[in-house]
Amino acid sequence: MLAALPNPLEVAVSVGVIAGIVLVFLLLGYLIYALLNAEAF
């Protein structure tokens, strides 16, 4: 991976972007899971 960035703002932005992507994938996975399970009801 990359070395520690000297600018804390860049670190915060990169962490925020990664966290945002993870949240988006979790939401998409939850929606797909709910749609697949909706057939059982």
Domain ranges of the chain: 12-40
The dihedral sign for the CA sequence 7, 8, 10, 14: positive
pLDDT at 41: 60
8 Å CB contact between 11 and 5: yes
pLDDT at 38: 84
pLDDT at 33: 93
Residue 10, H or E segment: helix 8-37
b/e sequence 17-28, b meaning 16+ C-beta within 10 Å: eeeeeeeeeeee
pLDDT at 16: 95
Digit-by-digit pLDDT tens for the chain (41 residues) are 566 657 889 889 999 999 999 999 999 999 999 999 987 66
8 Å CB contact between 5 and 14: yes
pLDDT at 2: 62
